[in-house]
Amino acid sequence: MSNASSTENLAAPSGTFSIGGDLPVVRLGYGTMQLPGEGVWGPPRDHDAAIAVLRRAVEIGVTFFDTADSYGPETAEALLKEALHPYADDVVVATKAGLTRQGPGIWTPVGNPAYLRQQCELSLRRLGLESIDLFQLHRIDPAVPLEDQVGELLELRDEGKIRHIGLSEVSVEQLEMASALAPIATVQNLFNLAKRDAEPLLEHCEAHGIGFIPWFPLATGELSAADGVLGEAAREHDATPSQLALAWLLRRSPVMLPIPGTSSVEHLDSNTAAAGIELSDEEYDALTALGG
């Protein structure tokens, strides 16, 4: 019995959300951006540790994995396949295309339709999939008409190569324009307790049943000072400020799908345990006021 808790479903208390109305995921997911080397470039510092983190995530109930062809590039997708293929029935893999890499920390948008199609085909091969559950346009390329970029993803969807279409780093206006061209199931924008510029986009997603994937969800900035509201609440729950930041995100909206990333099993367990933290109304309001 001693290791009964080692496979405890830590993620389940975060609840579920159906991407596109028909693809259920546990709301607290896992993002693979921290698995490649420094600058999201090259292989992981510790290959075996990266594989262990991915397998552990499934063990503790994570079903939603977010990756991208540009992480490495190609590294994170290959690690996912190595660790988890053949995928469990409830595992949902989301990937992205549209950012090219010229070196560590360098990201350049390319939205040429032929390129997006090529990257979809390569991701299918690297991930070992016949269809990608959620394929996201990593950035809208300003040099290519939006209808050409979204139109290509719609064609790929119609061909069965992708199931749902997502966007990343968009405005409400861009989302509305894209939604007029094709069903958009999710958006992924920078959003966390300390930075909430995407609040209008989140409200739009809520109103239309669109999943909102906040990247960089753990950022708390100066809010995590031990003598602040966040620090006090963390002590009250015997939790870390990062856990409270995730608990706040999960409480903030039913369409919120946080994907904290880490290359450490210990941090993975800690992050995922945030699903079980229930903030009181007073605590939630106090945390919300921090970034107001």
Q: Which positions are catalytic?
A: 71
Positive or negative, the CA dihedral 115, 121, 127, 132 is positive
Query: In terms of Cα–Cα distance, which of 158, 206, 217, 209 is closest to 185?
Result: 209
Query: How many angstroms separate the Cα of 288 from the Cα of each of 228, 244, 252, 263?
Result: 13, 11, 9, 29
| Residues whose CB falls within 8 Å of the CB of residue 243, separated by 6 or more in sequence, listed in order | 234, 237, 270, 271, 273, 274, 277
Q: How many CA atoms lie less than 13 Å away from 215 in the CB half-sphere?
A: 18
Q: Do 267 and 54 touch, CB atoms closer than 8 A?
A: no
What length does the chain have?
292
Separation between Cα atoms, residue 165 and residue 7, nearest integer Å: 32
Separation between Cα atoms, residue 183 and residue 158, nearest integer Å: 12
Positive or negative, the CA dihedral 158, 159, 164, 168 is negative
Query: In terms of Cα–Cα distance, which of 38, 52, 100, 98 is closest to 73?
Result: 100
108: enclosing H helix or E strand: strand 108-109
